Structure 1
Amino acid sequence: MCHRVPNGKHLVLGRLICLQNLSLRRWWDSERPICFVLNYDRIFITKTLQTELKEPLSSLTFSFDLGQDEVNAITTAMKEYEGLTCVQFTPWTGEDDYLAIQSLDGCWSYIGYYGGSQAVSLLKGFCAYNGGVQHELNHALGFYHEHNRSDRDDYVTIMYQYISPENIGNFDKISTNNLGVDYDYSSILHYAGNAFSNTSGQNTIVPHPNPNVPIGQSYGLSNLDVLKINRLYGCDECSTLLSAPNGTLTSTNYPSNYQNNANCVWLIRTPSDQVTLSFNAFNVQKSQSCTDYIRVYDGATTSAPMILDKTCGTGPLPVMIASTNRMLVEFVTDSAITAPGFKATYSTVQCGGTFYTPSRNVTTPNYPKSYPPNLDCQFIITAPTSYKVALNINNFFVEKSANCQYDYLEIYDGNSMSAPKIGSRYCSYQVFNVMVSSGRSMLLRFHSDASVQMYGFTASYNFGE
């Protein structure tokens, strides 16, 4: 049931809202930060968000009873705000007002700023995951559920006949400032179609005119969620969130020349697996210090490890694979000469990686235990310019079959599967000689089918001239 709260406050409990006064209070810009405490490490948001009365929010506090898994989920979710909006996280210095993020009696948050110890509950085992964290933090930043918007009747029909009387209030239409942003079926704040249904197989929210449009998701912020945050808080951010399993990204105006003085990021966050990125075209104004450049990061922010350092000029770039389902692309330009820019496509792979550092090991998943079924892994090794890759497969035991048709390893003399193969497919038990690339890249592709798994392989590589 709903918690009772002081007059003028709004409390969201799980997917329930208790509304007593609809005057929305939001965080606003100031010189004081939004803070949070992560167990005993204290951190806060530097782009201060405070009320219309300029009363500053001080800190977001994590209670001591949150375990490391919850802490990791919370910090990962917050990093997406950092990468895509002007909401940033830095160490806390003892301010009085804060968000107290704890595992209490459900998944809930107040809407907007009220000061003091302002609770956000992320119940362990239920909502301390990326989408759950961002759902509640968006409430704290001042946003209502999407289906409560003032214009919702233009986009969805509420099926009251399938909602019990005690739950009707969760579907109230609210007088909201929609910030000129389209209705977002994919918002992290949109209810699922069957939310609070009292009849099996019947939805309580039906999109129109197309009732088959998917609504609601728990992965995290949508691109329109990001846009709304940036508009509400006056963030001058050039940022795009790409959350589909595959897609395309281009520099502004592509294939015409990109704009001057740009600082743009694209966060690729796929539903699962590992992100792989391929540049179909790349033409960024070349200079000795790369004043126009692109960088690619193995994670959600520019503090993540770099997959590709500052790069400009023309020509093909290597395929890149993140270690998780998140990859950040950063594009920066100066005030001088421009160029057409770039076009890239992304998708996912189940396993693999991009390797730029010298002398590392590459293994199949679970090695030395049996690899999983139904794998398609790509390992891309790229040496510095003018260097070559020397690959040594130390141990190799893959299911034997005629022509290696079931489980196999393929090795390509380049950074894509369009490059020439080194040998043919490899399976069974093998002993290898050292293999050396003709250029600076080598790609290993490992495939397994649904039956019979062996130990796989372990390999090492180094770079040489």
Structure 2
Amino acid sequence: MTRREAGMKTGLNVSERQGINGDILNLKVIYTLGCQGCLWPKSENGNVLVPYIFVSNYSYDHLNVIRNAMQEFESLTCVRFVPRSEELAYLSIISSDGCLSVVGRLGGAQAVQLEAPGCMFRGVIQHELNHALGFYHEISRPDRDKYIIINYENIAPGFESAFDVVYGAQNLSLEYDYDSVMHFNMYAYAEKSSLPTIIPTPNPNVAIGQRDGLSVLDVEAIKRLYNCTEDVIFSYFSFFFLTDVCSTLLNTPSGTFSSPNYPFNFPNNIRCVWLIRIQNGQISLTFNDINIPDSIACISGYITIYDGPSINSPPILQKLCVSIQLPAIIGSTTQMLIEFVSNNDTTSMRFSASYKTVPCGGTYFSLVDDFTSPGYSSGSYYSNLDCNYTINAPAGYKISLTISFDIEPGLQCRYDTLLVYTSGTINGSKRTLCGINTVSTTSESNVMLLNFQTDAYTQRLGFFAQYYICK
């Protein structure tokens, strides 16, 4: 393969195996609600179930990438990719001959070709899955000439059909999306790699063709195509209630968001999620205002924060149902899911929050856990770090911490240092650590802070910390 769709992040696009329309394997073309018989059906609870099987023996890491890409659909829309049991129509995911898919539901087994490792990028996988859901390329919209110019003279021979307009297709009343995961990049299927095939207009400098993941408008298009705004059943313990699908994608390096109707109260009988996704680093989330009524077993409502893209990801903070001042919450990945739930008795729930990208750090609420400095598993921490870690225990409890460390030594730890604030505040008592040693300490309150700082020069192994909550 000369240039695969997986390389569209940097601008590649000529495949050895040519589909009918670039990476599309069939002539069935749909873009919108006008499709008849090629959408995946809804189940009784309002979800759209798309069964799949893995034909190839993907590695553990590659399976994680594919499932991570699927989980964003589940968190943000009513689409659910589920392992096939006995369904007649299903996706057959195979590592073969590039990144390719049919469009829409055909019935029976239909191929989604995700060759490893070339297609193992979240946005590339989601691009092909979107084809399977029924979406065509963004540049195929009938109104595309208002937003892009096609340089036909530089299209590689045999790939002209990849730039065809799908006449008669509707656009779900959504604006043109340069940021769509379904958009080609400027050099898609280029004969001369130095010259573009697609030029945005009127601003030729607009970035197009990202493969980081679904865009905000991609999510909205899926919701509209599959009518994900109708009521679905949500259950918690022994009660049931109806709730609207409510989801928001936050895909910028930093931003702010709040509950619906803020600063007024959160609506009753609703579950909303916010998926934060950044390109690099880790997410630091701060609640500027939060109000959740106290309730037994969180029966009135709660907030949960997951360290990843779905409710199947490890929880950072699980079912909080009391109004307290939370520390900045730092996840360990580039994705974080915030879930906010209310029932019909809730009268005063709301929040506002902000987030930003940080290079390292972590926030811990579990009773027992461990963590390391960045780069510990590879044998060396990184230069110019400033990492903050917060360990939180329930009120009335303390934290017992043991740290094994190998940190560049120096007079008063002047070069690289690990600061342990046992009082839970940077203005209280602390321990300053460097060199090679193992130490144990207990917090003075229910919070312990750690700060790891390194300079630009010598790097050592770093630290490994373990803690447990105690009385």
Shorter-chain TM-score bucket reads: 0.7 to 0.9
1:188-218 deviation per Cα after TM superposition (whole angstroms, max 9, x unaligned): 1111122223344432222233322221211
Q: Which residue among 210, 216, 227 is the counterpart of 1:217?
A: 210
Residue 447 (structure 1) aligns with: 453
Q: Which residue among 26, 30, 39 is the counterpart of 1:27?
A: 39
Residue 401 (structure 2) aligns with: 391
The question of whether the paired residues in 2 share the 8 Å contact of 1:11 and 1:108 is answered with no
* Separation in structure 1 between the aligned mates of residue 440 and residue 106 of structure 2, nearest angstrom: 68
Offset at 1:302? 1.4
Residue 200 (structure 2) aligns with: 207
Partner SS, residue 195 of structure 2: coil
- The one-letter code matched in structure 2 to 1:427 is C
Q: Does residue 1:232 correspond to 2:225, yes or no?
A: yes
Offset at 1:109? 0.6
The question of whether the paired residues in 2 share the 8 Å contact of 1:412 and 1:419 is answered with yes
Bigger mean CA deviation after superposition, 98-107 or 447-456: 447-456
Q: Which residue among 45, 50, 63 is the counterpart of 2:55?
A: 63
Residue 413 and residue 100 in structure 1: after superposition, are their counterparts in 2 closer, same or farther (change >3 A)?
same
* Separation in structure 1 between the aligned mates of residue 355 and residue 362 of structure 2, nearest angstrom: 14
The two structures have a TM-score, normalised by structure 2, of 0.83
The question of whether the paired residues in 2 share the 8 Å contact of 1:74 and 1:128 is answered with yes
* Separation in structure 2 between the aligned mates of residue 354 and residue 165 of structure 1, nearest angstrom: 54
Q: Does residue 1:180 correspond to 2:190, yes or no?
A: no
Partner SS, residue 301 of structure 1: coil
1:243-282 matched pairs, under 5 angstroms: 243-282=251-290
The question of whether the paired residues in 2 share the 8 Å contact of 1:190 and 1:216 is answered with yes
CA RMSD of aligned residues (A): 2.9
Residue 318 (structure 2) aligns with: 309
1:19-168 matched pairs, under 5 angstroms: 19=27, 24=35, 26-31=38-43, 47-48=47-48, 59-168=51-160
Offset at 1:385? 1.9
Q: Does residue 1:411 correspond to 2:403, yes or no?
A: no
* Separation in structure 2 between the aligned mates of residue 421 and residue 363 of structure 1, nearest angstrom: 24
The question of whether the paired residues in 1 share the 8 Å contact of 2:22 and 2:159 is answered with no
* Separation in structure 2 between the aligned mates of residue 184 and residue 370 of structure 1, nearest angstrom: 42
1:263-304 deviation per Cα after TM superposition (whole angstroms, max 9, x unaligned): 101111221232221211112233344312211112221122
Residue 445 and residue 300 in structure 1: after superposition, are their counterparts in 2 closer, same or farther (change >3 A)?
same
* Separation in structure 1 between the aligned mates of residue 332 and residue 345 of structure 2, nearest angstrom: 35
Offset at 1:441? 1.4
Bigger mean CA deviation after superposition, 199-208 or 76-85: 199-208
Offset at 1:252? 0.8
* Separation in structure 1 between the aligned mates of residue 43 and residue 420 of structure 2, nearest angstrom: 55
1:149-203 deviation per Cα after TM superposition (whole angstroms, max 9, x unaligned): 1222222222334334533322222232211222211111111122223344432
Residue 460 and residue 27 in structure 1: after superposition, are their counterparts in 2 closer, same or farther (change >3 A)?
same
Offset at 1:432? 5.1
Offset at 1:71? 2.0
The two structures have a TM-score, normalised by structure 1, of 0.84
Offset at 1:401? 4.4
* Separation in structure 2 between the aligned mates of residue 29 and residue 178 of structure 1, nearest angstrom: 21
Greater relative contact order, per chain length (Cα 8 Å cut-off, separation 6+):
2
Offset at 1:341? 1.0
1:315-367 deviation per Cα after TM superposition (whole angstroms, max 9, x unaligned): 31132222322211001112234336111122233333332233433332444
- The one-letter code matched in structure 2 to 1:215 is I
Residue 30 and residue 358 in structure 1: after superposition, are their counterparts in 2 closer, same or farther (change >3 A)?
closer
Residue 366 and residue 30 in structure 1: after superposition, are their counterparts in 2 closer, same or farther (change >3 A)?
closer
- The one-letter code matched in structure 1 to 2:219 is V
Offset at 1:460? 3.0
Residue 345 (structure 1) aligns with: 354
Residue 427 (structure 1) aligns with: 434
1:62-104 deviation per Cα after TM superposition (whole angstroms, max 9, x unaligned): 1134333322222221111111111224453322222211112
Residue 262 and residue 48 in structure 1: after superposition, are their counterparts in 2 closer, same or farther (change >3 A)?
closer
Residue 440 and residue 110 in structure 1: after superposition, are their counterparts in 2 closer, same or farther (change >3 A)?
same
* Separation in structure 1 between the aligned mates of residue 310 and residue 85 of structure 2, nearest angstrom: 23
Partner SS, residue 351 of structure 1: coil
Residue 390 (structure 2) aligns with: 380
Partner SS, residue 196 of structure 1: coil
The question of whether the paired residues in 1 share the 8 Å contact of 2:40 and 2:48 is answered with yes
Partner SS, residue 170 of structure 1: helix
Q: Does residue 1:285 correspond to 2:278, yes or no?
A: no
* Separation in structure 2 between the aligned mates of residue 166 and residue 64 of structure 1, nearest angstrom: 29
Residue 36 (structure 1) aligns with: none
Residue 105 and residue 429 in structure 1: after superposition, are their counterparts in 2 closer, same or farther (change >3 A)?
closer
1:395-417 deviation per Cα after TM superposition (whole angstroms, max 9, x unaligned): 333223466454222334577xx
Residue 464 (structure 2) aligns with: 458
Q: How many residues are treated as equivalent by the alignment? A: 435
Partner SS, residue 158 of structure 2: helix
Offset at 1:391? 2.9
- The one-letter code matched in structure 2 to 1:126 is G
* Separation in structure 1 between the aligned mates of residue 89 and residue 438 of structure 2, nearest angstrom: 65
Identity, in percent, stands at 42
Gaps of 5+ in 1: 5-9, 34-45, 50-56
The question of whether the paired residues in 1 share the 8 Å contact of 2:398 and 2:469 is answered with yes
Bigger mean CA deviation after superposition, 208-217 or 111-120: 208-217
Partner SS, residue 119 of structure 2: coil
The question of whether the paired residues in 1 share the 8 Å contact of 2:185 and 2:198 is answered with yes
Q: Does residue 1:355 correspond to 2:367, yes or no?
A: no
- The one-letter code matched in structure 2 to 1:29 is P
* Separation in structure 2 between the aligned mates of residue 233 and residue 402 of structure 1, nearest angstrom: 64
* Separation in structure 2 between the aligned mates of residue 61 and residue 459 of structure 1, nearest angstrom: 40
The question of whether the paired residues in 2 share the 8 Å contact of 1:251 and 1:342 is answered with yes
1:20-63 deviation per Cα after TM superposition (whole angstroms, max 9, x unaligned): 76684531434499xxxxxxxxxxxx9346xxxxxxx7x42211
Residue 52 (structure 1) aligns with: none
- The one-letter code matched in structure 2 to 1:122 is L
